[in-house]
Amino acid sequence: MQQPSQTSNQSDMTDTQLPQVAESHNEPRNPGMALDMNWVRAVQANTSAIERRAGNLGARRSLKKDHQAAWMLKAITCIDLTTLAGDDTVGRVRRLAAKAAQPVRADILDALGVSGITTGAVCVYHEMIAPALEALKGTGIPVAAVSTGFPAGLSPFALRIEEIRESVKAGATEIDIVISRRHALTGNWQALYDEVRTMREACGEAHMKTILATGELGSLRNVARASLVCMMAGADFIKTSTGKESVNATLPVSLVMIRAIRDYYQRTGFRVGYKPAGGISKAKDAVTYLTLIKDELGDDWLSPHLFRFGASSLLGDIERQLEHHITGHYSAAHRHPIG
21 domain-assigned: no
Q: How many domains does the chain have?
A: 1
- Residue 15 pLDDT class (50, 70, 90 cuts): very low
Identify the domain containing residue 71 by its residue range. Answer: 37-335
How many helices and strands in the chain, by DSSP H and E?
A: 13, 10
Q: Is 295 helix (H, G, I), strand (E, B) or coil?
A: helix
Quote the Cα angle for 28-255-27, to 5°. Answer: 10
**What angle, 0 to 180 degrees and rounded to 10, lies between the N-to-C axes of helices 157-170 and 189-203?**
30
17 domain-assigned: no
Specify the CATH number for the domain of residue 161: 3.20.20.70
- Residue 62 pLDDT class (50, 70, 90 cuts): low
14 domain-assigned: no
Look at residue 14 and tell me whether its pLDDT is greater than 60: no
> Which CA distances in Å does 258 have to 25, 108, 205?
21, 33, 24
Tens digits of per-residue pLDDT, 177-217? Answer: 999 999 999 999 999 999 999 999 999 999 999 999 999 99
11 domain-assigned: no
- Report DSSP letters for 252-263, one per residue: HHHHHHHHHHHH
Model pLDDT, residue 17:
53
Over residues 281-307, mean pLDDT: 95
Q: Active-site residues: which are they?
A: 176, 239, 275
Over residues 117-121, mean pLDDT: 97
Percentage of the chain lying above the pLDDT 70 cut: 89
26 domain-assigned: no
Model pLDDT, residue 11:
35
- Non-local (6+) Cβ contacts of 162 within 8 A are none
19 domain-assigned: no
Listed in order, strand segments (DSSP E) in 217-326 are 237-239, 273-275, 309-311
10 Å CB burial of residue 90 (0-12, 13-18, 19+) is middle
Give the separation between CA 57 and CA 271, rounded to whole angstroms.
Answer: 23
- Element spanning 144, H or E: strand 143-146
